Amino acid sequence: MTDTTSAPARTPRSRPLRRLRAAGRAALVVAALVAPMLAVPAHATPTPTPSGPELSGEADLTLSPVGNGIVRPGDQLAVSATIANGTEATVPATTVTLELGTEPIPDRSGLASWLADTEPAALPPVAEAPLAAVVSGADATSAIVVPPEVPALAERGAGVYPLRATAVVAGQTLAATSVFIVPDDAVAASVGVVVPITAPPGSAGLLGVDDLAELTAPDGELTAQLDAVEGTSAILAVDPALPAAIRARGTAAPESAIEWLARLEALPLTRFALQFGDADLATQVHASLPTPLQPTSLVSYLSPEVLADPPTQTPTATPDPTASPSPTASPSPTEPADDPEGTDPLPDLAQLTAIGNPTQAGVFWPATGSAGGDVVAALGATTVEGAPPLTLVPSDTTSAGSGNHTVRARATAAGAQLLVYDSEISAALHHAAGETDTPRRAASLTEATAYLAFAARESGGQPILVTVDRGTDRERVGLRTALNAAALAPGVTPAEMPVLTAAEPVDVGVGDIPADAPRVAELTQLLGDEAQIASFATILTDPALLTGRQRAEILQLLAVAWRAEPEAATAALTGHREQTRETLDAVGILPSSTLNLISYDANFGPWVRNDLPYEANLVLMAQPNDPRLVVTDRTEVVAAAAQNTRVTIPVQARIGNGKVTLTMQLYSPTGVPIGTVQSAEVEVRAEWETIGLVILVSLMVLFVGLGIFRTVRRRRARAREQAEASLEPEVRTDDPGPEVIP
């Protein structure tokens, strides 16, 4: 398991070549198991790499016990020794010597020291085997079997015993260490194994159709994960973004994805939900968030099929924690709603993200090694569905397990409820799950089995928890063999989640772990961008179309898997922030040309650009910088999706000529400024000549009218006087008067 060369670490070779070589080595080991002699050489033909692999610059030796190193009384000990040639020269043929310790390793600390020793002490030799020459970039394996009647192996008591293999190559001694385990039948322990069901990290809020098709194909990563856990007693930690991505697509989802989801729901395995996107909990706590972030809406991801015909969802009842789970028939994620009147609402978050039969609500699993006492306390202070949550932490971060001691699964820390998983066993299983090289995988499985032997002995009959941690390199065979190694270890019985949570807790302390400052700073930036999107989204009838997508993308960018790829994570963050800026700039006023106002009034028609796929409700405010122009200052605008919309603004000119600047700004209905301020020039020409002519003509008409009026009036007055005069009696001056008769 450990080699003693001082050259740089070996560079992994291509996976196809590894698989071919692994198949050859497995055949050799089987041959060694049935060989009746003390040391039977079995050679793998060195396989040169045709494409010239990247060489590590060293030759290394790996010692791999068969059967996870378990040797019961009366069994033979079978191992394989493999030399991988990472140099440019051919490694000459040599002999591999197997050495076997006589005394068992006393404890876990001794086991760790032996496996990590770069210069292990020599042990009594028990067998040898020849190894053929190895050309550059190739490897060769020799199998060695020690029969049970050999005195060095016979009558061994229960325990974990050291193994050492050596080979002299070009004058240098290569050495590798491992162990074999003689089981103690008096020791028994229940062991729970947590397996995350996750996709590779990404920046999209939900996986796309093409991604789903690739991941759920027969050789896809998600398919491999279900293949590995099916038929086991694993506890599943499911990313709820996976079923949400499939359900949101409706009938547009790939058939393989729909079948994958149905298969996940039907598995009779206990499970709990990870954070959406498997978001990094420690980073959220260190960013001073009061509670972990949750998705707010996924309506923007719903396909037209789902929007037109929402699926009918049946709520999943939480099973009795004291009973074993049984498969529950779940409706198809694309089954149309059985409602002739079409009254079924759209699926909500709970329906979209359901993982099927969760046995424990409110389980937090921070990235391994990221959660110190402050994170545990902060998470423990929250409540989920009215109950305190459980937080998973590795044993080496606790006071009880810091000295490489076994810690029972159920624990508390300053009132916070914990599930503690064994660090060393989990690390060995994780390495085995991601290893494509068969000898190296076998070495890791033996290491895990040895630690399990000590853990079972030290657990005091209490349950133990281990994990096969997150990773994008977990393969079907590697993950399955890792699960089998934990389940089939001597004295081990599977433990499901109810068994772990019901166990008597032990009080532990959790050490301090510094925050990942760059990730905290990145989250702070993302939250600032989210606040801007929330304000901007008020232009939509349903702001969740933007805010829900933004939150989902933030959670995906916080995925634990990004911790292993910091450069790719930075690139993804940069791309996301650029998209956010593009979204904030998706609505605005297009630049306008100069308007020549040659009449008293007119309509000014600026264009509003809307690059969003949604209709936008806006208010256009316009303000001239000169009183010579009168403008309607507030105009409501409904900007059509993904196009430019013409806006009509009435303008009027007052007396005077000149250039007027019209300033325009868009706002949301709630008063949030949208886009940048735009200005337009208006040339005002008031036409004084026309106005003066009209006034002059009006005055002339007035004067003529007055003259006519006066003339007519005088004539009428004269005529009236004449008429009055003609009506008076005539008086004669020569009339002598009346005659007087005396």
pLDDT for the residue 99: 96
pLDDT for the residue 688: 52
Task: Enter the DSSP assignment of 473.
Answer: T
Q: Is the pLDDT of residue 619 over 60?
A: yes
Encode pLDDT of 324-382 as tens digits: 333 333 333 333 334 434 445 788 999 999 999 877 889 999 999 999 999 999 999 99
What is the DSSP secondary-structure string of 159-209?
Answer: EEEEEEEEEEETTEEEEEEEEEEE--TT--EEEEEEEEE-PPP-SSSS--H
Average pLDDT estimate for 472-492? 92
Q: Is the pLDDT of residue 170 over 70?
A: yes
Boundaries of every domain in the chain: 2-182, 189-313+349-507, 587-686, 695-720
CATH 3.40.30.10 is held by the domain 2-182: no
Q: Is the pLDDT of residue 578 over 90?
A: yes
Tell me how crowded residue 148 is: count the other CB atoms within 10 A of its CB: 15
Asked if domains 2-182 and 189-313+349-507 share a fold, the reply is no
pLDDT for the residue 734: 53
Q: How confident is the model at residue 472 (pLDDT cuts 50, 70, 90)?
A: confident
Average pLDDT estimate for 259-263? 97
Q: Is the pLDDT of residue 612 over 90?
A: yes
Judge contact between 508 and 407, C-beta under 8 A: yes
Closest by CA to 249, choosing from 544, 11, 345, 241, is: 241
pLDDT for the residue 276: 98
Judge contact between 652 and 684, C-beta under 8 A: no
Q: What is the C-alpha to C-alpha distance for residues 73 and 70, in angstroms, rounded to an integer?
A: 10
Q: What is the largest CA-CA distance in the chain?
A: 206
Encode pLDDT of 268-293 as tens digits: 999 999 999 999 999 999 999 999 99
Give the CA dihedral 7, 11, 17, 22, nearest 10 degrees: 60
Tokens of 257: 């994805």
Query: What whole-number percentage of the chain has pLDDT above 90?
Result: 68
Q: Is the pLDDT of residue 637 over 50?
A: yes
Between 320 and 65, residue with greater pLDDT: 65
% helix, strand, coil for the chain, step of 5: 35, 25, 40
Q: What is the C-alpha to C-alpha distance for residues 103 and 391, in angstroms, rounded to an integer?
A: 39
Q: What is the C-alpha to C-alpha distance for residues 60 and 84, in angstroms, rounded to an integer?
A: 6
Judge contact between 9 and 54, C-beta under 8 A: no
Q: Is the pLDDT of residue 16 over 50?
A: no
pLDDT for the residue 328: 35
What is the Rg, in whole angstroms, of the alpha carbon atoms belonging to the chain?
Answer: 43
Give the least confident one: 206-215, 435-444, 717-726, 731-740: 731-740
Mean pLDDT of the chain: 85
Q: What is the C-alpha to C-alpha distance for residues 125 and 152, in angstroms, rounded to an integer?
A: 9
pLDDT for the residue 593: 81
pLDDT for the residue 407: 96
CATH number attached to the domain at 587-686: 2.60.40.10
Q: Return the exposure string of 498-530: e unless at least 16 CB atoms fall within 10 Å of the residue's CB, then b.
A: bbbbebebbebebeebebbeebbebbeebeebb
Encode pLDDT of 379-398 as tens digits: 999 999 888 999 999 999 99
pLDDT for the residue 385: 85
Judge contact between 46 and 133, C-beta under 8 A: yes
pLDDT for the residue 629: 86
- Say which CATH class 189-313+349-507 falls into: alpha beta
Q: Is the pLDDT of residue 66 over 90?
A: yes
pLDDT for the residue 18: 34
Its pTM stands at 0.81
Q: How confident is the model at residue 190 (pLDDT cuts 50, 70, 90)?
A: very high
Q: At what angle do helices 517-536 and 566-584 cross, to 10 degrees?
A: 20
